[in-house]
Structure 1
Amino acid sequence: MQPEVQTSFKPANGAKGWKVWWQLTRPHTLTAAFVPVLIGTALAISDTDIHFGLFLAMLLASLLIQAATNMFNEYYDFKRGLDTEESVGIGGAIVRDGIKPNTIMQIALSLYGISMLLGVYICMQTSWWLAAVGLVCMAVGYLYTGGPLPIAYTPFGELFAGFFMGMMIILISFYIQTGTVSLTSVLVSFPILLLVGAILLANNIRDFDGDKAFGRKTLAILIGREGAVKLLAGMFIVSYAWVFILIFTGVSSPWLALVILSTPKAIKATKGFIGKSIPITMMPAMVATAQTNTIFGFLLSIGLFLGYFL
């Protein structure tokens, strides 16, 4: 066990007070929780009247679980020695800002507790079977960096993140409104599975050297840095191609073609990783990857809404 860091460090980048706590949630990742809820609800609008209470409860629960997952990541990266004052990224509230590890863990568990209360409300309005699904999703969030064999240390991090924080949130959001899961909802959710996974892949490309030194076996390390960048580009390409296949086969409205407007961010993200190995130089590419998911998801939702109303 490492000793707790004293609170004498200066906040990173001059951040003070609430800004430190805001950074601790890793806000650039929160869209990975917000976008799927919006898409699942947009999908449901053609089948039923939207229950806004359930929408807001699902949205808040997803955001809190994502924030808590980020805090678990902060806590365990510190405990395992991955985070130092020289680490690049929005994390590092313990090593740079002097927040005590136990405080971060307590807050993360509190956020999980609030999410569970919201889950009880959702189950009371829909089905108690969702409790089991929600607990599995929360367990994956914790085990991503917690437990004896963290998912983040394996080649399956992108798959677990994409499935549970992308596709599953869409399907749960759709289910609580409609009482069912349709084939269309599964098909439409697939690109978001890829794009949420891409956020994790981008993070692992940036942390390639550090993760390798600490013995992590991420997908990026398994296939090499260049292979990981090519995979990232492939995930972007398949995401866009998938939407147009849905349009051409009549599964979805032509309005979903609006997602094409997000391609500049995907291109920027891919180019931003090519030929780079220094973590700080890859930060713009990481941001662009998260923005691709956000903009793509918003445009997909708008397309679903327009397909219903027009």
Structure 2
Amino acid sequence: MNEDVKPNSLQAWILAARPKTLTAASIPVMIGCALAEAHGHFQATPAILCFLFAFLMQIDANFINDLYDFLKGSDREDRLGPERACAQGWITPQNMKKGILLTTALAALCGLCLLYYSGWEMIPVGIACLVFAYLYTTLAYHGWGDILVLVFFGFVPVGCTYYVMAHTWNGSVTIASLACGLVIDTLLMVNNFRDREQDAISGKRTLVVRFGAKTGLIVYFLLGLTACWLCFYFVGQGKLWASILPELYLLIHILTTVRMARIGKGKALNAILGETSRNMFFFGILLSAGLLL
């Protein structure tokens, strides 16, 4: 156990929440808000509630993943990724369960507040988000992680953020949702690429485990490329900047892909994880700015 982190301290909970992953929660909501503003529907209060809901659900999923992998015995000494709270003894499993209940309750409260702006039809979506947080880790072991990311970090947060304010859906929302989900999936792909040997031992059947490291590297690159090319759709919607600006992301995405290929394996890939998080946040800013211009 890292002696610098006191068990069940505030620092321990912050580390367990994995704040670096919260960019994945903020990007879809940011794009959804930009779409709403571009179509004259933006509202500040529901936007804030959407951000809070997204952050809480991301933290909830992180807590659940931390606890599940600890109980399953997946966080072994050969772990390459960032340290986990339960495995390091920073937070006891009992307290982690309490933390999960608290974040779940707070997320549900934000969801209930959003019903005032959206309508009762959003209840099934909120329930699906909660189910996703609890089942994501289990389903990821069976190779469903990439699909779930596309849905719950693309279509659900982008589309629902827009819907809460506009009460409608259109082609721009669909394309932006898909592009967002693809970009965020690059983060999952780096994780799976780095952990491929450990995942194979643990029985986690990710795409990289099934088809190999080379396939993972190619898919990583294609995810970013496809997201950028999808943005050319906005030319037909009179949003030229929403097509041009996201292409700047492709430059750094290519550089990161090359570095990822050179490193190949080991803990050094954690640097690629950080770059990927930065890159996808850059994409979110570029697409949002393009929609607003």
* TM-score (norm. length: structure 1): 0.88
SS in 2 for 1:88: coil
> Which structure dedicates a bigger proportion of its chain to helix?
2
When residues 264 and 26 of structure 1 are mapped into structure 2, their CA distance, relative to the original with a 3 A threshold, is farther
% identity of equivalent residues: 26
Distance across 2 between alignment mates of 1:80 and 1:272: 32
C-alpha distance in 2, partners of 1:262/1:252?
A: 21
Match of 2:20, SS state, is helix
Q: Secondary structure at the match of 1:180?
A: coil
Root mean square deviation of aligned Cα: 1.7
Compute the displacement of 1:73 (Å): 0.5
Matches of residues 204-215 of structure 1 in structure 2 within 5 Å? 204-215=192-203
Partner Cα distance (1:288, 1:190) in 2:
21
Distance 2:122 2:250 in 1: 35
Q: Which runs of 5+ in 1 are unaligned?
A: 1-8
For residue 176 of structure 1, the aligned residue among 140, 158, 164 is: 164
Task: Find out whether 1:151 has 2:139 as its counterpart.
Answer: yes
- Contact kept in structure 2, 1:202 and 1:232, CA below 8 Å: yes
How many residue pairs are counted as aligned between the two chains? Answer: 290
Q: Deviations over 1:193-236 (max 9, x none)?
A: 10122211111111111000111111111110111101101111
Q: Distance in 1 between matches of 2:190 and 2:146?
A: 10
Gaps of 5+ in 2: none
Write the letter of the residue equivalent to 1:104: M
Shift of residue 262, structure 1, vs aligned partner:
2.5
Instruction: Report the alpha carbon displacement of residue 86 of structure 1 after superposing the two structures with TM.
Output: 4.5
Are 2:64 and 2:134, in contact at CA under 8 Å, matched by a contact in 1? Answer: yes
Aligned to 2:58: 66
Find the aligned partners of 1:90 and 1:39 in 2 and give their Cα distance. Answer: 28
1:1-310 superposed matches below 5 A: 9-11=1-3, 14-15=4-5, 17-145=9-137, 150-243=138-231, 245-248=232-235, 250-256=236-242, 257-306=244-293
Shift in CA distance, 153/282, structure 1 to aligned 2, threshold 3 Å: same
Distance 1:276 1:213 in 2: 22
Contact map agreement 1:43 1:185 (CA 8 A) in 2: yes
Q: 1:26 to 1:252 in 2, by over 3 A?
A: farther
Q: Shift of the alpha carbon at 1:168?
A: 1.1
Contact (CA 8 Å) 2:158, 2:176: kept in 1 or not? no
Report the secondary structure of 1:133's partner residue.
helix
TM-superposed deviation, 1:15: 4.8
